[in-house]
Protein backbone atom coordinates (compact mmCIF):
# COMPACT_ATOMS: atom_id res chain seq x y z
CA UNK A 1 0.00 0.00 0.00
CA UNK A 2 1.68 3.18 -1.12
CA UNK A 3 -0.87 5.72 0.06
CA UNK A 4 -1.06 6.78 3.68
CA UNK A 5 -4.02 4.77 4.75
CA UNK A 6 -5.54 5.54 8.13
CA UNK A 7 -4.58 3.11 10.84
CA UNK A 8 -8.05 1.64 11.02
CA UNK A 9 -9.12 -0.15 7.88
CA UNK A 10 -12.21 1.39 6.27
CA UNK A 11 -13.66 -2.07 5.98
CA UNK A 12 -16.69 -1.37 3.87
CA UNK A 13 -15.95 1.35 1.35
CA UNK A 14 -18.17 0.59 -1.56
CA UNK A 15 -16.03 1.19 -4.64
CA UNK A 16 -19.12 2.15 -6.59
CA UNK A 17 -19.89 5.15 -4.39
CA UNK A 18 -16.38 6.10 -3.30
CA UNK A 19 -15.96 9.54 -4.85
CA UNK A 20 -15.85 8.54 -8.50
CA UNK A 21 -15.42 12.12 -9.74
CA UNK A 22 -11.92 12.48 -8.31
CA UNK A 23 -10.34 9.99 -10.67
CA UNK A 24 -8.72 11.50 -13.76
CA UNK A 25 -9.46 9.92 -17.10
CA UNK A 26 -5.71 9.54 -17.56
CA UNK A 27 -5.65 7.18 -14.61
CA UNK A 28 -8.64 5.24 -15.88
CA UNK A 29 -7.09 4.70 -19.30
CA UNK A 30 -3.70 4.07 -17.73
CA UNK A 31 -4.94 1.36 -15.40
CA UNK A 32 -6.74 -0.44 -18.20
CA UNK A 33 -3.63 -0.29 -20.37
CA UNK A 34 -1.46 -1.60 -17.54
CA UNK A 35 -3.95 -4.38 -16.77
CA UNK A 36 -4.02 -5.39 -20.44
CA UNK A 37 -0.23 -5.31 -20.75
CA UNK A 38 0.41 -7.34 -17.61
CA UNK A 39 -2.28 -9.83 -18.59
CA UNK A 40 -0.82 -10.12 -22.10
CA UNK A 41 2.66 -10.76 -20.74
CA UNK A 42 1.37 -13.46 -18.39
CA UNK A 43 -0.56 -15.13 -21.20
CA UNK A 44 2.40 -15.12 -23.56
CA UNK A 45 4.56 -16.57 -20.78
CA UNK A 46 2.00 -19.29 -19.98
CA UNK A 47 1.65 -20.11 -23.67
CA UNK A 48 5.40 -20.42 -24.23
CA UNK A 49 5.72 -22.52 -21.10
CA UNK A 50 2.91 -24.97 -21.87
CA UNK A 51 3.02 -25.15 -25.68
CA UNK A 52 5.82 -27.71 -25.98
CA UNK A 53 4.06 -29.93 -23.42
CA UNK A 54 0.70 -29.62 -25.18
CA UNK A 55 2.25 -30.42 -28.56
CA UNK A 56 4.09 -33.38 -27.02
CA UNK A 57 0.83 -34.64 -25.47
CA UNK A 58 -0.93 -34.52 -28.81
CA UNK A 59 1.95 -36.22 -30.58
CA UNK A 60 2.10 -38.92 -27.89
CA UNK A 61 -1.67 -39.48 -28.13
CA UNK A 62 -1.37 -39.84 -31.91
CA UNK A 63 1.60 -42.20 -31.69
CA UNK A 64 -0.16 -44.36 -29.09
CA UNK A 65 -3.27 -44.48 -31.27
CA UNK A 66 -1.29 -45.62 -34.33
CA UNK A 67 -0.24 -48.78 -32.52
CA UNK A 68 -3.86 -49.50 -31.57
CA UNK A 69 -5.47 -48.93 -34.98
CA UNK A 70 -2.89 -50.98 -36.85
CA UNK A 71 -2.40 -54.03 -34.63
CA UNK A 72 1.00 -55.68 -34.92
CA UNK A 73 2.91 -52.48 -35.58
CA UNK A 74 6.36 -52.05 -34.08
CA UNK A 75 7.66 -49.02 -35.99
CA UNK A 76 5.96 -46.13 -37.72
CA UNK A 77 7.16 -43.63 -40.30
CA UNK A 78 5.31 -40.51 -41.48
CA UNK A 79 4.52 -40.28 -45.20
CA UNK A 80 3.23 -37.41 -47.29
CA UNK A 81 1.61 -36.96 -50.68
CA UNK A 82 4.13 -37.04 -53.49
CA UNK A 83 2.77 -36.68 -56.99
CA UNK A 84 0.13 -39.36 -57.44
CA UNK A 85 1.51 -41.53 -54.67
CA UNK A 86 2.96 -41.28 -51.20
CA UNK A 87 6.56 -41.02 -50.07
CA UNK A 88 8.34 -41.22 -46.75
CA UNK A 89 8.97 -37.86 -45.15
CA UNK A 90 12.71 -37.25 -45.15
CA UNK A 91 14.16 -36.58 -41.69
CA UNK A 92 13.75 -32.87 -40.98
CA UNK A 93 11.83 -32.41 -44.21
CA UNK A 94 8.40 -32.16 -42.62
CA UNK A 95 6.27 -29.23 -43.74
CA UNK A 96 4.00 -27.77 -41.07
CA UNK A 97 0.30 -28.30 -41.76
CA UNK A 98 0.98 -30.94 -44.38
CA UNK A 99 -1.34 -33.95 -44.34
CA UNK A 100 0.50 -37.07 -43.22
CA UNK A 101 -0.24 -40.76 -42.96
CA UNK A 102 1.88 -43.27 -41.10
CA UNK A 103 3.40 -46.39 -42.58
CA UNK A 104 3.40 -49.17 -40.00
CA UNK A 105 5.94 -51.95 -40.16
CA UNK A 106 6.69 -55.14 -38.22
CA UNK A 107 9.98 -55.95 -36.56
CA UNK A 108 11.28 -57.61 -39.73
CA UNK A 109 10.56 -54.48 -41.75
CA UNK A 110 7.53 -55.87 -43.61
CA UNK A 111 4.53 -53.57 -44.02
CA UNK A 112 1.49 -54.09 -41.76
CA UNK A 113 -0.56 -51.18 -43.04
CA UNK A 114 -1.10 -47.48 -42.84
CA UNK A 115 -2.55 -45.27 -40.10
CA UNK A 116 -4.60 -42.53 -41.72
CA UNK A 117 -5.87 -39.47 -39.80
CA UNK A 118 -9.19 -37.93 -40.81
CA UNK A 119 -11.41 -35.03 -39.76
CA UNK A 120 -14.98 -34.03 -40.42
CA UNK A 121 -18.11 -32.47 -38.95
CA UNK A 122 -19.79 -34.41 -36.18
CA UNK A 123 -23.01 -33.55 -34.37
CA UNK A 124 -21.45 -30.85 -32.17
CA UNK A 125 -17.99 -30.09 -33.49
CA UNK A 126 -15.23 -31.48 -35.64
CA UNK A 127 -14.48 -35.14 -35.04
CA UNK A 128 -10.87 -36.10 -35.63
CA UNK A 129 -9.96 -39.74 -35.80
CA UNK A 130 -7.27 -42.14 -36.88
CA UNK A 131 -7.85 -45.40 -38.72
CA UNK A 132 -5.72 -48.29 -39.81
CA UNK A 133 -5.74 -49.65 -43.35
CA UNK A 134 -4.30 -52.93 -44.57
CA UNK A 135 -3.53 -52.56 -48.30
CA UNK A 136 -2.92 -56.30 -48.70
CA UNK A 137 -6.45 -57.33 -47.69
CA UNK A 138 -8.00 -53.97 -48.63
CA UNK A 139 -9.70 -53.64 -45.25
CA UNK A 140 -9.84 -51.12 -42.44
CA UNK A 141 -8.34 -52.81 -39.39
CA UNK A 142 -9.02 -50.32 -36.61
CA UNK A 143 -10.46 -46.88 -35.83
CA UNK A 144 -10.02 -44.55 -32.91
CA UNK A 145 -11.55 -41.13 -32.27
CA UNK A 146 -8.82 -38.72 -31.20
CA UNK A 147 -10.89 -35.63 -30.47
CA UNK A 148 -14.62 -34.91 -30.44
CA UNK A 149 -17.28 -32.95 -28.61
CA UNK A 150 -20.17 -35.32 -29.23
CA UNK A 151 -23.07 -35.49 -26.78
CA UNK A 152 -22.04 -37.31 -23.60
CA UNK A 153 -23.94 -40.57 -23.31
CA UNK A 154 -25.14 -40.60 -26.92
CA UNK A 155 -22.78 -39.28 -29.58
CA UNK A 156 -19.70 -40.14 -27.58
CA UNK A 157 -20.59 -43.81 -28.00
CA UNK A 158 -18.53 -43.58 -31.20
CA UNK A 159 -15.61 -43.75 -28.74
CA UNK A 160 -16.98 -46.28 -26.25
CA UNK A 161 -19.55 -48.53 -27.96
CA UNK A 162 -17.88 -51.93 -28.36
CA UNK A 163 -20.35 -53.15 -30.96
CA UNK A 164 -19.76 -50.05 -33.09
CA UNK A 165 -15.98 -50.28 -32.81
CA UNK A 166 -16.20 -53.95 -33.81
CA UNK A 167 -17.24 -52.69 -37.29
CA UNK A 168 -13.77 -51.40 -37.91
CA UNK A 169 -11.84 -54.56 -37.11
CA UNK A 170 -12.16 -55.86 -40.69
CA UNK A 171 -14.14 -53.45 -42.81
CA UNK A 172 -13.88 -53.84 -46.57
CA UNK A 173 -13.29 -50.58 -48.43
CA UNK A 174 -14.51 -51.86 -51.80
CA UNK A 175 -17.25 -51.16 -52.71
CA UNK A 176 -17.71 -47.88 -50.77
CA UNK A 177 -18.66 -48.02 -47.08
CA UNK A 178 -22.41 -48.17 -46.41
CA UNK A 179 -23.93 -47.20 -43.05
CA UNK A 180 -26.81 -49.49 -42.03
CA UNK A 181 -29.15 -49.69 -39.02
CA UNK A 182 -27.80 -51.55 -36.06
CA UNK A 183 -27.88 -55.31 -36.48
CA UNK A 184 -28.51 -55.20 -40.23
CA UNK A 185 -24.86 -55.51 -41.26
CA UNK A 186 -24.54 -58.45 -43.66
CA UNK A 187 -21.81 -57.41 -46.11
CA UNK A 188 -18.18 -56.71 -45.21
CA UNK A 189 -18.42 -53.08 -46.42
CA UNK A 190 -21.44 -52.21 -44.23
CA UNK A 191 -21.17 -50.39 -40.91
CA UNK A 192 -23.68 -50.92 -38.09
CA UNK A 193 -24.80 -47.52 -36.77
CA UNK A 194 -25.40 -46.67 -33.12
CA UNK A 195 -29.06 -46.28 -32.17
CA UNK A 196 -29.55 -42.76 -30.81
CA UNK A 197 -26.28 -41.55 -32.26
CA UNK A 198 -26.86 -41.93 -35.97
CA UNK A 199 -25.47 -38.49 -36.86
CA UNK A 200 -22.22 -39.10 -34.99
CA UNK A 201 -21.79 -42.62 -36.33
CA UNK A 202 -22.60 -41.54 -39.90
CA UNK A 203 -20.06 -38.75 -39.48
CA UNK A 204 -17.41 -41.34 -38.66
CA UNK A 205 -18.26 -43.30 -41.80
CA UNK A 206 -18.14 -40.18 -43.97
CA UNK A 207 -14.75 -39.20 -42.52
CA UNK A 208 -13.45 -42.68 -43.33
CA UNK A 209 -14.93 -42.39 -46.81
CA UNK A 210 -13.18 -39.04 -47.35
CA UNK A 211 -9.89 -40.48 -46.10
CA UNK A 212 -10.24 -43.49 -48.38
CA UNK A 213 -10.84 -41.29 -51.42
CA UNK A 214 -7.80 -39.16 -50.68
CA UNK A 215 -5.34 -41.81 -49.66
CA UNK A 216 -6.21 -45.26 -50.95
CA UNK A 217 -5.52 -44.54 -54.65
CA UNK A 218 -2.19 -43.00 -53.67
CA UNK A 219 -1.30 -45.91 -51.42
CA UNK A 220 -2.33 -48.27 -54.23
CA UNK A 221 -0.11 -46.44 -56.70
CA UNK A 222 2.80 -46.52 -54.29
CA UNK A 223 2.46 -50.22 -53.44
CA UNK A 224 1.98 -51.32 -57.05
CA UNK A 225 5.24 -49.58 -57.93
CA UNK A 226 6.85 -51.66 -55.22
CA UNK A 227 7.70 -48.59 -53.15
CA UNK A 228 6.86 -48.60 -49.51
Partner 1 sequence: MSQAGDDHALRNELVKGIWRENPVLLQVLGLCPAMAVTNSLSNAIVMGVATGFVLVGSSVIVSALRRVIPPQVRISIYVIIIATFVTVVDFALAAYLPTAHKALGAFIALIVVNCLILGRQEAFAAKNTVPLAIADAVGMTIGNTLALVAIGVVREVLGSGTLLGVNLFGDKFEPWVIMVLPPGGFITMGLLLFAIALRKEAALRAQAAALQEAP
Q: Cβ 156 to partner 1, closest distance in Å?
A: 9
Smallest distance from partner 1 to CB 215, Å: 26
3-class secondary-structure state, position 77: strand
Residues in the site for partner 1, rule: CB under 8 A? 1, 3, 5, 9, 11-16, 18, 20, 23, 27-28, 31-32, 35-36, 39, 42-43, 46-47, 49-51, 53-54, 57, 61, 147, 149, 151-154
Nearest alpha carbon to residue 203 among 189, 215, 193: 193
Question: What are the C-alpha distances in Å from 158 to residues 95, 127, 149, 164, 201?
Answer: 31, 10, 11, 7, 6
Give the three-state DSSP class for 212.
helix
Q: How far is the CB of 4 from partner 1 (least distance, A)?
A: 11
CB of 40 to partner 1, least distance (A): 9
* Complex with partner 1: residue 150 or 192, whichever CB lies closer: 150
Which regions of 12-165 does DSSP assign to beta strands (E)? 75-82, 85-88, 100-105, 111-121, 126-134, 139-147
Nearer Cβ to partner 1, position 48 or 95? Answer: 48
> For residues 68 and 80, which CB has a smaller minimum distance to partner 1 in the complex?
68
User: CA-to-CA distance for 130 and 137, rounded, in angstroms?
Assistant: 19
Q: Which is nearer to partner 1, 9 or 108 (CB)?
A: 9
Compute the least distance from the CB of residue 104 to partner 1, in Å.
24
Q: Which is nearer to partner 1, 12 or 184 (CB)?
A: 12
Asked whether the beta carbons of 118 and 210 are under 8 A apart, the reply is yes
Amino acid sequence: MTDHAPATEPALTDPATAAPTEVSSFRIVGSLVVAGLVSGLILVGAFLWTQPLIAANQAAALQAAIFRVVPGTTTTAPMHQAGDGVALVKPGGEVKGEALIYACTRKDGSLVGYAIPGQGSGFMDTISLLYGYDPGRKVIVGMEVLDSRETPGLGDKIITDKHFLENFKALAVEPDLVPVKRGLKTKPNEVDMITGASISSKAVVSILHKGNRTWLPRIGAATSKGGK
